[in-house]
Structure 1
């Protein structure tokens, strides 16, 4: 068989690459692979409800009952001591107790508050400023103030600042100390410190710590390093595969078109559309340039690849990716845009960018998710984000709170979740969760499979 042309080689590669993460069109088709479970029952009920509404029908009452019963079972499972879901248990505790809610709210802003207070302390008691003060009680108090800020000892910091303000000869620092003592950020941090000793708050924090190390801790830092290393390794495999593809394409074109690969391609602010919540950095990009090179050389996007460690990570990423494609498509077709990459600045034709599409057909020929995780023998039908939205609904938390208090809890109280699922725009992603999961898995390839497809197509055996 003669060698394939570059367009046919690229098409053959994308068409024949093994899709080991793929799901069937119908969720029911793989439900037989799963043992009966509340999560699987919920996923099937949601998909049947979506299909009914897509046909313009009202889902049957029996389907509603099945959904409610499965959600009640899912909540009971998540509440099981020791074997349940610590995140959900923490959410229920926060729902039940006002002071735990206050602690959670204050914790969310503690990082910013801490930076603000430390900045104020440095303006007064930075070690360099301390050296300009004669040894004695004032210098010692300033050292204690700075040490308290470094140790996040907010009550001790407050007391030391108060002591300093009462000292003789502190007139130059008095305005700064007064502002520090009156700072709402310091008051919030003191309140957070006081709440941290409460038994229920400690239980709440223990549950969160079971889920993930506390922010800023050694465990969290180590986990972050590991995640970054894993992401970098997956991205390197994706880049390696696309470079092999670029080499094959260059061989097929016989110097008529040039292909290259860039990584970490960052979208310029000059593209006239909102960048908010859109993907503005693309992991690996295959570029194409028609030869001979024009006076102002520029490239076209041929393929975009995103490296993800798991199916869940890609599913969460998809809305951002779609917004990123729509952002690129807002490019002015008469403009050449400069994109920064790890390989330097590349210039891309606005006309090619504006032709990018975010529909299913456009995605299939333009985007790959590269993942090196093993394919599960029993793919999970209920996505992690959908599961958490179901559990965190107000009715779910109230039902769980009643169970946690050993009170009578009627599953019928979960009916509002069913109505939200069918009627609320905020729940559209849950209602459409199986088609979304299927779409993501359709775009997902293992780097080994991609390399094998490139080699087959390059040998003329993949067409």
Structure 2
């Protein structure tokens, strides 16, 4: 192994892992009851996973601990003063038919609006208005287009419905223009318009208003200006973390080049896109890597373009949670790279231009944990929590949104005593259903993500320390 390769391995081994979780999660019943409900659930679930992984039956004592912890987490989530507004909205949707209908119509509303917009433009686009031969036609089309525009901007499709009825009530419209009458009638009878009008009617229902109030308190709804602004802020944050990761890897490349005594041995590229030429499933796999450290392959001829080997893949994330949801996509991305043919050179597009990568080095990117520690990093600049959250957000929501959990919460909503035995169904799903695989493995996933995660400042400090040691060694050898 070359001196630079040993140095890289040393840096990756020495960089602090401030986000790391403990591997051993064994805990007594008393310790579990003293933990927060979410932490207790995470610990119980991990003990179930470990038993299952070893072919053993989970300890029967874990079941009541799981049910008690889940019941406590639900009770916390439905509290009016400090609960989880998203879960409360979910419970309200479970309880009230009109809220369920409103939620269902809301999910389709954007598509319905686009359909109505397209239908109105097909009839009454301003260009069509100008081509209409009769004044009454131009007035009718302008009235329809204006009404549709108001409906779109003010969410008042009942007004568009009334406009259509008014236009269709014009005496002898069929005799004047059968095509316009047929188009107006089709629009009036369209299921999309009926759904949008029904959505507006439901919006005035008290329970629906309570539901939307809960959603608004949780955070901006998709498509709203606030949600767009939040998305842009998140993108800026992600770009800032990526810039820090690039800076750290540039310093790493310089350090490795100095150790190799070759200023062109290592380089860094960003936004590296996987070419379609690599066989395998690209769908749902990571096909663009944020920052990549490359090592130049020994050239047989100075006239040929340099070929590079992948030495480190880095993904920049603004939070631990975003990395946790990204891990499966990252693993599929590694499996995709492993489909590269060993003796083929592939062209990857990057922010710095095209680079030629050796297929053998792509195939070497394994998915075993020991290999990942030497080949992949998540870079994150979030502060490390003193008490890390051990139950990830997706698993928590799947536990809360189980039918039995919603029924348990609904009973508590009414002030009744909810029977914890209802939650036995969630335990059975967790221990038996393939759909709960991600929840069962959630702590192992979270632990791996945090094991791969480093802070850019820690990486930079480790690189500086390694550089200092290398200089001292070089000075001693010179003497």
Normalised by the length of structure 2, the TM-score is: 0.89
Q: Residue 94 of structure 2 contacts residue 406 of structure 2 at CA under 8 Å; is this kept in 1? A: yes
Closer/same/farther in 2, CA of residues 165 and 344 from structure 1, 3 Å limit = farther
State the Cα distance separating 1:388 from its structure 2 match. 1.0
Question: Is 1:445 equivalent to 2:454 in the alignment?
Answer: yes
Match of 1:150 among 143, 149, 152: 152
State the Cα distance separating 1:220 from its structure 2 match. 1.2
Q: Residue 284 of structure 1 contacts residue 306 of structure 1 at CA under 8 Å; is this kept in 2? A: yes
Question: Per-residue CA shift, 1:33-82, capped at 9, x if unaligned?
Answer: 99632112212211222222233332233221111011111111100002
Question: Is 1:271 equivalent to 2:278 in the alignment?
Answer: yes
Q: Which position in structure 1 is the counterpart of 2:16?
A: 18
State the Cα distance separating 1:256 from its structure 2 match. 8.3
Unaligned runs of 5+ in 2: 474-479
Q: Residue 33 of structure 1 contacts residue 378 of structure 1 at CA under 8 Å; is this kept in 2? A: no
> For 1:397 and 1:435, how far apart are their aligned partners in 2?
27
Question: Is 1:246 equivalent to 2:253 in the alignment?
Answer: yes
Cα RMSD (Å) of the superposition?
2.6
Q: Which position in structure 1 is the counterpart of 2:235?
A: 228
Closer/same/farther in 2, CA of residues 33 and 290 from structure 1, 3 Å limit = farther
- The more displaced of 15-24 and 179-188 is 179-188
Q: Residue 117 of structure 1 contacts residue 149 of structure 1 at CA under 8 Å; is this kept in 2? A: no
> For 1:335 and 1:120, how far apart are their aligned partners in 2?
52
State the Cα distance separating 1:413 from its structure 2 match. 1.0
Question: Is 1:399 equivalent to 2:408 in the alignment?
Answer: yes
Closer/same/farther in 2, CA of residues 35 and 261 from structure 1, 3 Å limit = farther
> For 1:185 and 1:287, how far apart are their aligned partners in 2?
53
Question: Per-residue CA shift, 1:345-365, capped at 9, x if unaligned?
Answer: 223222221221111022111
State the Cα distance separating 1:337 from its structure 2 match. 2.5
Match of 1:419 among 412, 428, 431: 428
Question: Per-residue CA shift, 1:392-451, capped at 9, x if unaligned?
Answer: 111111111121123342101101111111111221222222221111111000000011
State the Cα distance separating 1:131 from its structure 2 match. 4.3
SS at match of 2:318: coil
Normalised by the length of structure 1, the TM-score is: 0.92
- The more displaced of 252-261 and 24-33 is 24-33
State the Cα distance separating 1:306 from its structure 2 match. 0.8
Number of equivalent positions: 460
> For 2:285 and 2:59, how far apart are their aligned partners in 1?
38
Looking at both structures, which has the greater relative contact order when contacts are Cα pairs under 8 Å and sequence separation is at least 6? 1
State the Cα distance separating 1:326 from its structure 2 match. 0.8
Q: Which position in structure 1 is the counterpart of 2:88?
A: 89
SS at match of 1:321: helix
Q: Residue 126 of structure 2 contacts residue 142 of structure 2 at CA under 8 Å; is this kept in 1? A: no
Equivalent residues in 2 for 1:197-208 (5 A)?
Answer: 197-208=204-215
Closer/same/farther in 2, CA of residues 130 and 335 from structure 1, 3 Å limit = farther
Q: Residue 299 of structure 1 contacts residue 348 of structure 1 at CA under 8 Å; is this kept in 2? A: yes
Equivalent residues in 2 for 1:31-180 (5 A)?
Answer: 36-133=35-132, 134=135, 137-151=139-153, 152-167=155-170, 168=173, 170-171=177-178, 173-180=180-187
Q: Which position in structure 1 is the counterpart of 2:373?
A: 364
State the Cα distance separating 1:132 from its structure 2 match. 4.4
Q: Residue 113 of structure 2 contacts residue 152 of structure 2 at CA under 8 Å; is this kept in 1? A: no
Q: Residue 246 of structure 2 contacts residue 268 of structure 2 at CA under 8 Å; is this kept in 1? A: yes
> For 2:408 and 2:228, how far apart are their aligned partners in 1?
36
Closer/same/farther in 2, CA of residues 138 and 356 from structure 1, 3 Å limit = same
State the Cα distance separating 1:32 from its structure 2 match. 7.4
Question: Per-residue CA shift, 1:194-235, capped at 9, x if unaligned?
Answer: 222211111111111111112222211221111111111111
- The more displaced of 122-131 and 380-389 is 122-131
Closer/same/farther in 2, CA of residues 335 and 249 from structure 1, 3 Å limit = same
Q: Residue 124 of structure 2 contacts residue 142 of structure 2 at CA under 8 Å; is this kept in 1? A: no
> For 2:360 and 2:212, how far apart are their aligned partners in 1?
52
State the Cα distance separating 1:144 from its structure 2 match. 1.9
Q: Which position in structure 1 is the counterpart of 2:399?
A: 390
Q: Which position in structure 2 is the counterpart of 1:428?
A: 437
Q: Residue 125 of structure 1 contacts residue 145 of structure 1 at CA under 8 Å; is this kept in 2? A: no
State the Cα distance separating 1:157 from its structure 2 match. 2.1
Match of 1:346 among 355, 365, 377: 355
Q: Residue 279 of structure 1 contacts residue 324 of structure 1 at CA under 8 Å; is this kept in 2? A: yes
Match of 2:383 among 363, 374, 391: 374
State the Cα distance separating 1:178 from its structure 2 match. 4.1
> For 1:65 and 1:33, how far apart are their aligned partners in 2?
11
Closer/same/farther in 2, CA of residues 162 and 288 from structure 1, 3 Å limit = farther
